[in-house]
Amino acid sequence: MQNSALIKTENLEKTYSLGLTSLKAPDDVTLTVTRGEFLGLVGPSGSGKTTLLNIIGSLDAPTSGTAEVLGRRIDSLSQKEAAGLRNGHIGFIFQTFNLLPVYTVYENVEFPLLLQGVESSRRRQLVEEALEWVGLADRADSRPVQLSGGQGQRVAIARAIVKKPEIVLADEPTANLDAANSHHIMRTMVQLNEELGTTFVFATHDEKVIGYLKRKITLIDGRISKDERSDQPPLAVR
Amino acid sequence: MIPFLFKGLLRDRSRSLFPFLTVFAGVVLTVFLHAWLNGVLSSLLESTAHYSTGHIRVMTKAYAKEADQNPNDLGLLGIDTLMTELRRLYPDLLWTPRIKFGGLLDIPDEKGETRAQAPVSGMAVDLLSPDSPEWRILNIENAIVQGRVPRNRGEILAGVDLAARLGIQPGDTATFISSTMYGSMSVMNFVIAGTVRFGIAAMDKATVIADLADIQQALDMQGGAGEILGFFADDLYHEDRANAVTAVFNACHRNDPGDSPRDTGAFSPVMGTPRTQSGLSDYLDYVDVFSGVIMGVFVVAMSIVLWNAGLTGSLRRYGEFGVRLAIGEEKEHVYVSLQAESLMIGFAGAVAGTATGLAAAAYTQAHGFDIGSVLKESTMMLPNIIRARISPFSYVIGFLPGLLATFLGTTISGIGIYRRQTSELFKELET
Ligand SMILES: Nc1ncnc2c1ncn2[C@@H]1O[C@H](COP(=O)(O)OP(=O)(O)OP(=O)(O)O)[C@@H](O)[C@H]1O
Ligand SMILES: [Mg+2]
């Protein structure tokens, strides 16, 4: 299983109609991601990074082509099965924080575990661990509005990784973080990638993120234009 | 999971407190308004029954046609037989004869010259037999303001406002001038035993209460009465029973020959209920329709407001739903939790609203609300003090619409969760 395909897309397309014309992003994307990759989709704004990420996360449906995640054809999953897949195996980090404002930091991070039905003492342990990773253990009782943008994003990261998913899909995770926080987060994620074998897929144009990537896929107008690998990413020295 | 969602509900006031208050306010108003209208209607019906029509009224056919004009020349004669028959056939009702009459009350000074004079509308009831049901029906003892109840022939009671207008006191004498049932002039002297306040403007300003036997004599109606009223023993109007009794009785007496030679069937007895009697029936139907429309409009308006609150409440939360779905919650679970929330809010609001509405209604039922000044010129048998009246319907009239409107509003608006791509849902949060 170590090198099996975790995510596999074939001729994936999403067509948006724009009145008279239409627009494809992604456009004919064929891509294989294996377990343990630390990969980024890069490219100019509007090139289809977010859409591709959402399709992989079964939040969005492709117009044509196929996508397989963890051996399951997500374009044909029922919404219940898709929810089960996300709940069990995928963590999301959004460009905006998307925290639930009425809940505390602790409760936001706890939410995915409640959905999984994790028992309460184990839940506490996992939530505390995740908050440690992102350096927010002391803000467990704060509400999202009381946090800075960077802190909010770190809570979102803790929420994505708390259930130790196989795949984390992160859309511009550092967009609202300063340099120090960005590096802190990226190192946390590199560590998770190496220690737990979690596969990370980023959508980003932030050089700080790109510096940590072991694989960089460049999208231009929805199409893959470059697919580069580097075993020793410049920033990922420990 | 459930405590978690509940915690969120309580913390987010726009999700809990405001919808709760909306339901609450709507339900309180509906419950109270309904009890109030019910109170007005029942009071009207009750006092109309007590002072005018009874629960069932027996008259001659001819009298019934012009009943509001008290045409005593068309009255019932030989009522003893009829009373016996009524008591035998319908022992569940109390039967009592009355004569309503009009005339002039003349108050003489010491020299016997007219000091004051006023037209009065009189009501002759059995005041002197010990077992007369009228004491209870008219609540005479409690209505006494000055003086005492009549104990002897020739004593009458006068409405307080009438007494004030004429400047009479208990113990004064008054001359009553009217015409007999055969059309000749009738003059009779009475002693004012006391003054009474029934709390009904129409009665207090113009009514005298006299003993039946006195008036039978004065109007030359021995053994007769204008009408015989029947009252249910529990003093509540049972419409179905009244209609049944009336239908059977009227069928049996369709063409009775009367006791008098003038009779051609027009003098056979006929029964009427408050509703079927001219004047009141149209009025009651009108009030019925009117209050039905008010309640209907009110319930519909409340439902729309609550519906809308449910709608905007869940539209506002599409972003939150998007995130919850992305984290792995099932659409169905989000939807059901939304419905459960609305049921809780709707239930809490409907319970609190019904309780408060009932409490307000109970207060108004106990203490009443004086609308006497509005009724000054009224001829309706409507008490000056209006009380709300709680009926079994009060418990559901606000509760069900409150609960259902909230629930349905949420249920329908929540369908959007299914209609949209999850990615679209949380984009609404971003924008
Ligand atoms: N709901 C939609 N309707 C129409 N067009 C859409 C819709 N969502 C996305 N698009 C278009 O699809 C293209 C790809 O969008 P996407 O959000 O995937 O880009 P992106 O690469 O993530 O951009 P950015 O770097 O700015 O986040 C864009 O041109 C966008 O305008
Ligand atoms: Mg994007």
Of residues B46, B137, B139, the one with CA closest to residue B387: B46
Question: Are A153 and A37 within 8 A, CB to CB?
Answer: no
Residues of chain B with pLDDT under 70: 254-265, 277-284, 306, 310, 374-380, 422-423, 425-431
Quote the pLDDT of residue A187: 87
Asked whether residue A17 carries a pLDDT value surpassing 50, the answer given is: yes
Query: Does residue B5 sit at the A interface (CB-CB below 8 Å)?
Result: no
**Residue B361 lies inside a defined structural domain of this protein:** yes
Quote the pLDDT of residue B110: 84
Chain A: closest CA distance from residue B423 (Å): 5
Quote the pLDDT of residue A27: 93
Question: Are A171 and A95 within 8 A, CB to CB?
Answer: yes
Q: How far apart are CA B142 and CA A215, in angstroms?
A: 98
Give which of B330, B331, B334, B337 to mutate to test A binding, by max A Cβ within 10 Å: B330
Quote the pLDDT of residue A2: 46
**Closest ligand, as measured to the CA of B423:** 1
Q: How far apart are CA B253 and CA A109, in angstroms?
A: 85
Quote the pLDDT of residue B375: 65
Q: How far apart are CA A15 and CA A25, in angstroms?
A: 7
Question: Are A22 and A29 within 8 A, CB to CB?
Answer: no
The 10s digit of each residue's pLDDT in B409-427 is: 788 878 877 777 766 766 6
Quote the pLDDT of residue A66: 93
Locate A130 and state its tokens: 């995740």
Cα-based angle B231, B66, B238 (whole degrees, multiple of 5): 25
Lowest mean pLDDT among A23-32, A134-143, B251-260: B251-260
**Residue B250 lies inside a defined structural domain of this protein:** yes
Decide: A204 in ligand 1 pocket, CB within 6 A.
no
Q: Which residue has the higher pLDDT, A210 or B254?
A: A210
The verdict on B74 and B188 lying in the same domain is yes
**Residue B37 lies inside a defined structural domain of this protein:** yes
The verdict on B224 and B297 lying in the same domain is no
Residue at a domain's end among B272, B305, B322: B272
Length of chain B: 431
The verdict on B295 and B399 lying in the same domain is yes
Decide: A16 in ligand 1 pocket, CB within 6 A.
yes
**Residue B44 lies inside a defined structural domain of this protein:** yes
User: From the list A86, A101, A110, which residue is nearest B328 (CB)?
Assistant: A86
The verdict on B44 and B97 lying in the same domain is no
Distant-in-sequence contacts of B248-253, Cβ < 8 A, 24+ apart = B249/B58, B249/B89
Of residues B399, B67, B419, the one with CA closest to residue A79: B419
Question: Are A69 and A56 within 8 A, CB to CB?
Answer: yes
* CB contact (8 A) between residue A87 and residue B429: no
Cut 0.80: pTM above it: no
Band of residue A184 on the pLDDT scale cut at 50, 70, 90: confident
By C-alpha distance, the chain B residue nearest A84 is B328
The verdict on B338 and B268 lying in the same domain is no
One-character DSSP codes across A112-155: HHHHHT--HHHHHHHHHHHHHHTT-GGGTT--GGGS-HHHHHHH
The verdict on B119 and B34 lying in the same domain is no
Query: Does residue B319 sit at the A interface (CB-CB below 8 Å)?
Result: yes
Asked whether residue A146 carries a pLDDT value surpassing 90, the answer given is: yes
> How many Cα atoms occupy the beta-carbon half-sphere of B67 within 13 Å?
25
Quote the pLDDT of residue B84: 92
Cα-based angle A50, A52, A54 (whole degrees, multiple of 5): 70
**Domain carrying residue B264:** 56-272
Residue at a domain's end among B272, B299, B334: B272
Question: Are B69 and B102 within 8 A, CB to CB?
Answer: no
Band of residue A76 on the pLDDT scale cut at 50, 70, 90: confident
Of residues A46, A64, A53, the one with CA closest to residue B423: A53
The verdict on B126 and B181 lying in the same domain is yes
Q: How far apart are CA B6 and CA A194, in angstroms?
A: 38
Distance A43 CA to ligand 2 centre (A): 10
How many domains, chain B? 2
The verdict on B203 and B228 lying in the same domain is yes
Is the reported ipTM for this assembly greater than 0.85? yes
Of residues A80, A115, A94, the one with CA closest to residue A203: A94
User: From the list A83, A88, A110, which residue is nearest B325 (CB)?
Assistant: A83
The 10s digit of each residue's pLDDT in A36-74 is: 999 999 999 999 999 999 999 998 889 999 999 999 998
Q: Interface of chain A against chain B, CB under 8 Å?
A: 51, 54, 57, 59-61, 79-80, 83-88, 90, 92, 94-96, 98-103, 107, 110-112, 114-117, 159
The verdict on B26 and B70 lying in the same domain is no
**Residue B277 lies inside a defined structural domain of this protein:** no
The verdict on B185 and B74 lying in the same domain is yes
The verdict on B163 and B209 lying in the same domain is yes
Question: Are B32 and B361 within 8 A, CB to CB?
Answer: yes
* CB contact (8 A) between residue B330 and residue A57: no
Residue at a domain's end among B233, B250, B272: B272
List C-alpha distances in Å: B27 to B34, B202, B360. 10, 35, 12
The verdict on B40 and B62 lying in the same domain is no
Q: How far apart are CA B142 and CA B157, in angstroms?
A: 13
Quote the pLDDT of residue B431: 39
Share of chain A above pLDDT 70, in %: 97
Of residues A172, A182, A230, the one with CA closest to residue A208: A182
